[in-house]
Amino acid sequence: MTNLIFDRTLDLVAGIPDEILPGVRRVLAPNPGPMTFKGTVSYIVGHGSVAIIDPGPDDESHVAALLAAVRGETVTHIFVTHTHRDHSPATAALKRATGAQVLAEGPHRPARPLFVEEAPRSEAAADTDFMPDTRLADSDVVDGRGWTLEAVATPGHTANHMGYVLREPAVHFCGDHVMGWSTTVVAPPDGAMADYMASLEKLWQRDEDVYLPGHGNILRNARGYVHALHEHRRDRESAILAALMDGAADIPALVRAIYIGLDERLVLAACRSVLAHLEDLVSRGLVTTDGAPSIAGTYRLT
């Protein structure tokens, strides 16, 4: 089994800006929880003429903290990694206050609309009201005054997940695709495991080795960690297949067999993650079920 080592240290106070790297500040939102760790981290790129990455939840105090952090500066761009409600809803208030251009991959959408029945949602519900001013595609480059960001499509956690790579210093704002404090929830209908694995492989092939995630602390030596995440998911897939061989047939039984000592608050997330693995296994012909994969389905080895 892959031995993932998590970093659960984050010495940030909500609302207080912190310059984590030259030209990069971060501001923690006051939304801690079992799915968000100590809260969503918003980033400010540049000085004088700046971009904000992931405005965060619809929280007046967090919006006020971001605006206070850039007082006297011009916000020209707002970038959004994905449309879960802990990342994108504050965009509207920031745009009203600054007039900045909003950029993202696109609006929220299901990852597999014709294949997967909708599973019960977790706390990180979709922000279906979000619509960017400019839709970005993989490898698009956006220049600001003193900074350049490259869009890196990383679907998996959501279908519209987009990371942003700052050219100097070389750092990847990776949203929720990679987090040092925990593994990422990948769950239908928002996410798809095959997409997530392909995105991990894509990042492993890139050069950036410093990541700034949407939750948790800075990740250094990130490419090695990305590889460990990929192996962890393969281990989880093997555990699901082994549990099916031993007789577990539905998702609650699989979760009980695989996630020993799981926090009760995370059971729903674990069920949705197992569903994502099962969807992938069904599509690859390794597992069968009656009808479309669903949270209530019964599964068996092919």
Task: Enter the pTM of the model.
Answer: 0.93
**Residue-range domains of the chain with CATH:** 18-231 (3.60.15.10), 236-301 (1.10.10.10)
Question: Of 90, 135, 77, which is closest to residue 108 (Cα–Cα)?
Answer: 135
With 60 as the cut, is the pLDDT of residue 119 above it? no
Write out pLDDT tens, residues 197-250. 999 999 999 999 999 999 999 999 999 999 999 999 999 999 999 999 998 899
With 70 as the cut, is the pLDDT of residue 294 above it? yes
Write out pLDDT tens, residues 24-58. 999 999 999 988 999 999 999 999 999 999 999 99
- Residue 113 binned pLDDT confidence (cut-offs 50, 70, 90): low
3-state secondary structure the chain: CCCCCCCCCCCCCCCCCEEEECCEEEEECCCCECCCECCCEEEEECCCEEEEECCCCCCHHHHHHHHHHCCCCEEEEEECCCCECCCCCCHHHHHHHHCCEEEECCCCCCCCCCCCCCCCCCCCCECCCCCCCEECCCCCEEEECCEEEEEEECCCCCCCCEEEEECCCCEEEEECCCCCCCCCCCCCCCCCHHHHHHHHHHHHCCCCCEEEECCCCCEECHHHHHHHHHHHHHHHHHHHHHHHHCCCCEHHHHHHHHCCCCCHHHHHHHHHHHHHHHHHHHHCCCEEECCCCCCCCEEEEC
With 50 as the cut, is the pLDDT of residue 123 above it? no
Judged by average pLDDT, the poorest of 3-7, 67-71, 163-167, 226-230 is 3-7
Average of per-residue pLDDT across 260-270? 86
Write out pLDDT tens, residues 277-291. 999 999 999 999 998
